[in-house]
Structure 1
């Protein structure tokens, strides 16, 4: 119950630290990036004189000016009128009807006055009043031939004029034209005046205002007006220039007036920071280290992130000294290489993107609230290069090579960007850029080599690089085992091979298991002759009591722990050396003691422990016993090997040796299969050569 409570408490503390780390990193990023999004504001007075040249920090549309231009474009569009061709036909029919009516009235026997009255009744009132009665009288008095000639002339003139567009503004001109058309008709003057007046009456506007077409044309004119934009970096006002209304409104629009306070950039920066850190938060939420508390890794990552971020910020301050392109000298790869070495490649890649995005904002050459594409791409390539090169080469000697590789990638990226910009750069400028790229890569590797020991020692982290260094056969302790206990050395190599393969089969740390197996029996170097793999000839235990033999055998664990501590070996390796026998029973000496006396306690012949606490320790304990047992077989076969392996695992389970580690039965099955495969490869059957057979016959 106490252990459960302690576990829950540790989980709570880990999550609390996770949230704390997230908040601290968010605050750090917010503070460091604040300067790069804070709008630069000026004390500008309307109708005043600008004291300096001011450029726009952003690209934004001037909606007010755009709308003004669109209104002006719409106002320039003339009204659309539609020609009504049927109007000409209607007016011609009207003239024909008038002349037909006059002819009908002429045929009647009434007096002239009575004819005028009948004509008045048959014609529209406005038409009759349009002309004086004298002209109507001239029409009634005309001969049929003259009247027919007048009719044809009038119809022709009206049809000609009405076939063309006549707007209300063109009406007077159209009537003048119809008068000109009838000027040369050969009729009496009185009759000519009458038909002219009649024709003028027939002429009316034949186009009407088309509202829908007019609105559509105005809309098209407005759409053709491109938005007026204030471009990023565009000069709004030059030094000594008069501040007009238009300039003042533009300064207000881009937020450069001191009177215009806004919190939008800071809200945006807060959201920006949270989005960048969310993948890292999610990673550590699911991160479950085997040998350390998650808190240690959280603090380690925070330290690496902060160191790199501070370094980027300090270099970005050089921009205030009018030093451009300083992003090319930033050794951002130091952060990704450290994370790759101490964590893994996935986290290093994610962090590379975070550094690159933040760097594109830091190195924006003083234009607040903007991103430098070239700086961001360069920093991303540099960071990824460091993480990728160390993918399979986790040795300290390779870090400098990684720095050179980063330098090459930096140079290639700079040249690519310069060429894509199609700018004219001198050889000296290109040379300076190349030198900055080389400095970035080399300095990153030097910093990585310098910081790595401090981080490993300060946080107690056993990195893959450290394990590879410890696996070097020239290590003093390994040479000690080889020279003082060669049998133990070869036994340890075999256990290392078995353990590594078994750990990789279940997803445990195979490299840690291999290196720990090299050192797990270092304590045997104190009394090597008392262990069977180092014996040649007599067995010293044949002359000792079971109790004394037991003490010597058990002592190799405590002696090994003492030696490892003396050489300041990592805690993980010391723990495995201490736990690889757990509290197992020394059966041989226990049964030997039982034969000599009935008063023997089993607890006295057990290792002091503790039991294996990790999967790696459990697997090494199995491999240690399996290797010794299989080596003792006279003719090892697959069946015998499998029987030994499964028997040892079953015995450890019955003895509760795995109760304190999180290895499962399914994983133990995979471990058994892996051990059998490896051992079968080592103890395979061999061809017996004829010479050996003859020698055996002679011996027989």
Structure 2
């Protein structure tokens, strides 16, 4: 896989490669989620029998049922009546006016004091009264009141008219002080007539007063159309819309499709083959969000483009692999296995990415997969979202990331899987309690089994896939580094047996480099294990290196400076070649090539100059390249520092500090750190770390005196 990525890298720039790969991921994601947002349609007819159970794919408002409920609520609102007291005033004023006009148009009324006095009512008097009433009274009473009433009024004396007017007005006020509806009007008039009949009114005026009373008594509790309509509208608005809920069964298989069912199916858009584009537009936006999240995640990442390309390919493969497993699990769920979605190893992707790359990217992929899972596992209801499964996947992935935060051994993956299983159980239990769901014993058993298997399966798949991805992409994970640090590795055993001095030197350099890298925030474990292999090239000619020359003459004393130069310089190239042959990670190969940078072999360079030959400095420099990473730079300094301090006689703290300072200063002046991102502040931290570590190694020891056997016996005695 790494070979093909390098081939693609030579053909495409990183920017083009990123766009192309993310586009492929987006396209495949769209294809995998397509069937879960496409609305299914049904070929059904009114009054036919349903061939399958139809469920609502979404939540909508049932407009027709809502309207029926609103009309029912409005019909239950009674009519609103409004009592209007001004009507009483108007009617009593009208009656008073009639009596007053009658008294005005009775010319002989003043003579009516005689007991036997009678008035002859002429037509002229009637006409004058009616004309006056028609002109000066707001209501035309001449057509509503019989002439006999006016005749009785005109034939009565003023005193009788005044008395009768007072009685009638009083009775009207008593009656109309209470609200009277149209339906109550007849009963009220009859009651008024009955009361007037029992009062002491002159016989000639009693009939007229009753007639006027019935005329004056009208409804004063009138129907308020505006208020009634407002209350009915308020009642309509208070009705909650009737909804067809997502997942609701519209019709069971084998049941008759009546008008109401057909209307609901039609309202859901399930009776036509003309699919709406809204779900597909939504899916496109969803996939675009995934594309943008991954794009900006890698765009903002400050690492080499070569690593970005590897990581992007790796993450894309893990993401698509997880989606594929989701799809397979969902298809298995069609066998009517309840809650099969909880069996999916949701923590697998998070654990793989956390083990090989970093925590941040693992969390991002966990969130994206949880969102995709909410669409795939939507209980066969196309277009719906399963929030519960999204929460389950999210917490499962988070548990996988958290419990792998400090893992350095593959066996810890299985332990992390057990913790993920516990987290799965807690999430399922919490959601069941929140919903107050009633599950059977079988349901709880399935939940328990699926949650535990999901966690363990995630760890098993991670353990199985991790070596494949590490080898295929050249990923150097923490666990891989721990494995490569095992002294039983063939290359390390070769160094130990063939070049024991080099092995000891590598271990010492590893101690220095690891402490310094951790002090500046670099990868200390990578530096340590890289040091174990950085001088593997010395195993080709171990005795040409001073740390392996024990009780033998230095072979360089018999060689020319040029030959010695070639042997010494070749150990970096030979080491890189051996590491490539054994297919060790590229980081180790880089450290082997870069740990001397382009430094000068000063001893042999000056030895060649002393011989009088013409010597070029470039010929006595390592081919490089210069250190490209902070780890390689630290190792290069640690390698020189350890060798220099080991050759010192009676190393003291001040001597060590001075030596370390001079070596780092020499590398700075030689521009050996120009191609890595070490800062001057970090160099000071590295110098301090080296001094502390070396002081701990080369501390002064107590000199024990030698006792002779005689002195020892005396002491024992």
**TM-score higher than 0.5:** yes
SS of 1:82 mapped into structure 2: strand
| Structure 2 partner of 1:51 | 51
1:476 paired residue among 487, 490, 497: 490
Verify the 8 A CA contact 1:74 1:221 in the aligned structure 2: yes
1:595 paired residue among 571, 594, 610: 610
| Structure 2 partner of 1:698 | none
2:459 paired residue among 428, 436, 445: 445
| Distance in 2 separating the partners of 1:140 and 1:409 | 105
- Cα shift at 1:197: 1.7
| Distance in 1 separating the partners of 2:12 and 2:580 | 32
1:172-225 superposed Cα distances (whole Å, 9 cap, x missing partner): 444333322312123344311111122223223324454542332122111222
- Cα shift at 1:286: 2.1
| Structure 2 partner of 1:3 | none
The structure-2 alpha-carbon separation of the partners of 1:458 and 1:130, relative to structure 1 and needing over 3 Å to count, comes to closer
| Distance in 1 separating the partners of 2:693 and 2:580 | 36
| Distance in 1 separating the partners of 2:367 and 2:168 | 88
- Cα shift at 1:530: 4.0
Verify the 8 A CA contact 1:252 1:260 in the aligned structure 2: no
- Cα shift at 1:676: 2.2
1:580 paired residue among 565, 576, 595: 595
SS of 1:236 mapped into structure 2: strand
| Structure 2 partner of 1:500 | 514
| Structure 1 partner of 2:659 | 644
The structure-2 alpha-carbon separation of the partners of 1:668 and 1:501, relative to structure 1 and needing over 3 Å to count, comes to farther
2:335 paired residue among 307, 318, 321: 321
1:471-505 superposed Cα distances (whole Å, 9 cap, x missing partner): 23343333443454444334323322333344445
Q: Structure 1 residue 94 and structure 2 residue 109: aligned?
A: no
Verify the 8 A CA contact 1:641 1:676 in the aligned structure 2: no
| Distance in 1 separating the partners of 2:432 and 2:143 | 88
| Distance in 1 separating the partners of 2:345 and 2:201 | 107
Verify the 8 A CA contact 2:171 2:192 in the aligned structure 1: yes
| Structure 2 partner of 1:670 | 682
| Distance in 1 separating the partners of 2:74 and 2:517 | 78
| Structure 1 partner of 2:471 | 457
2:413 paired residue among 387, 399, 410: 399
**Structure 2 residues without counterparts, runs of 5 or longer:** 1-5, 112-118, 708-717
| Structure 2 partner of 1:304 | 318
1:262-281 superposed Cα distances (whole Å, 9 cap, x missing partner): 12111112212222343222
The structure-2 alpha-carbon separation of the partners of 1:629 and 1:178, relative to structure 1 and needing over 3 Å to count, comes to same
| Distance in 2 separating the partners of 1:354 and 1:194 | 94
**Structure 1 residues without counterparts, runs of 5 or longer:** 1-5, 695-700
After TM superposition, the structure 1 stretch with the greater mean CA deviation from structure 2, 477-486 or 458-467, is 477-486
- Cα shift at 1:29: 1.7
Verify the 8 A CA contact 1:49 1:243 in the aligned structure 2: yes
After TM superposition, the structure 1 stretch with the greater mean CA deviation from structure 2, 228-237 or 549-558, is 549-558
- Cα shift at 1:282: 1.5
Aligned pair count reads: 685
Matches within 5 A, 1:599-614: 599-614=614-629
Verify the 8 A CA contact 2:55 2:381 in the aligned structure 1: no
| Distance in 1 separating the partners of 2:607 and 2:451 | 72
The structure-2 alpha-carbon separation of the partners of 1:436 and 1:128, relative to structure 1 and needing over 3 Å to count, comes to closer
After TM superposition, the structure 1 stretch with the greater mean CA deviation from structure 2, 298-307 or 495-504, is 495-504
Verify the 8 A CA contact 1:319 1:366 in the aligned structure 2: no
2:198 paired residue among 173, 181, 184: 184
- Cα shift at 1:18: 1.5
1:426-455 superposed Cα distances (whole Å, 9 cap, x missing partner): 545433433333332232222222222222
| Structure 1 partner of 2:61 | 61
SS of 1:182 mapped into structure 2: helix
Aligned Cα root-mean-square deviation (Å): 3.3
- Cα shift at 1:81: 3.2
2:398 paired residue among 372, 375, 384: 384
- Cα shift at 1:72: 4.5
| Distance in 1 separating the partners of 2:81 and 2:673 | 97
1:100-144 superposed Cα distances (whole Å, 9 cap, x missing partner): 454554644697547656644554452345434443332343355
The structure-2 alpha-carbon separation of the partners of 1:47 and 1:129, relative to structure 1 and needing over 3 Å to count, comes to same
| Structure 1 partner of 2:168 | 154
1:350-374 superposed Cα distances (whole Å, 9 cap, x missing partner): 2112222222222222122223333
Verify the 8 A CA contact 1:39 1:369 in the aligned structure 2: yes
